A = this chain, B = another copy of it.
């Protein structure tokens, strides 16, 4: 392979001069710089990443810890992965993808071996055991997903409290007075998906404040169970005119459920979901929904992480950046039908 020594020899200068000519960290005469650059071009020189890492203590690689949970909608994760990877590349970083079952071990191993300059943790749980390791790691990290105790770490997530309120308020303003909220299964909660609680509690509280009904249900995450549950919910609460879905499987099942009952949205019932844009496209779901903003969260997490690595960011203060929810209007909400 071609080393900086080869470049130096061809350009007729010392290795250090070649290095300075390329980095620009000391002044170099125009002639020498040109000779070095020409040698680089002719030889096709690319610095050896390992050597560079050893010398500079910077690898220009970020560690991306994905956490795949059984029976979660995996494709959603892909959006986060792509968002992070693409933004990282723009900032000059490559991405080491870690999907190890044991996230703690992976984090420790990669951190100790100095393979990366920083970490992005996806799908962070309420009580995530990776956080302690991250806090004591030599590299900084950004979280995507709000844990119970985010102290000392930068966090990026959708504002699920605001999301719960927004869903309720939107339908309340249209005149709805009885709503059904379908959340993800309780076992998602047990695994630490506290965002389900945050949204549900906020929705319930807001409904109470506004003096309207909200029936909350933890739905299944698989077909056809969730479809059957939806049928039952609609039977049990015939007066409900609005349906809030914080459950991807429920959203996917709803078209058939409505169709079989001869109902349509928004004429008979208004629907607001909470799932990614991409999910909606894949399933061609016609319901207005609060986007998960995976791409945007990934971007923000990376940008913050990079500024921390560069030392640009104030090392003392940490941010908890909760993205304001926004409803992608697909026309599935309207004033409730007038009862005969």
Contact = CB atoms under 8 A, between A and B. Distances in A.
Interface of A: 1, 44, 46-54, 59, 61, 64, 68, 73-75, 77-78, 81-82, 85-86, 89, 94-100, 109-110, 112-115, 138, 222-224, 252, 255-256, 259, 278, 282-284
B282 A73 contact: yes
The 9 A-B pairs at the shortest CB distance, nearest first, are namely A50-B53, A75-B75, A223-B284, A46-B112, A97-B97, A50-B54, A49-B113, A49-B115, A78-B78
A94 B78 contact: no
A54 to B, nearest CB: 4
A82 B68 contact: yes
Contacts of A47: 113
Given A1-B114, A89-B99, 10 more contacts: A1-B138, A46-B109, A49-B50, A50-B53, A64-B97, A74-B75, A75-B78, A75-B282, A78-B78, A96-B96
11 contacts: A48-B114, A49-B59, A50-B53, A61-B115, A73-B282, A75-B78, A81-B81, A82-B99, A85-B99, A256-B256, A283-B283
Contact of A54 (B46, B54, B68, B73): B54
Contacts of A78: 74-75, 77-78
Copies, count? 2
A75 B110 CA distance: 27
B44 A48 contact: no
B54 A114 contact: no
Contacts of A278: 74
A154 to B, nearest CB: 22
Contact of A48 (B96, B98, B113, B255): B113
Contacts of A44: 112
Nearest to A252: B283
Given A74-B75, A282-B75, A97 B114 contact: no
A122 to B, nearest CB: 13
A94 B96 contact: yes
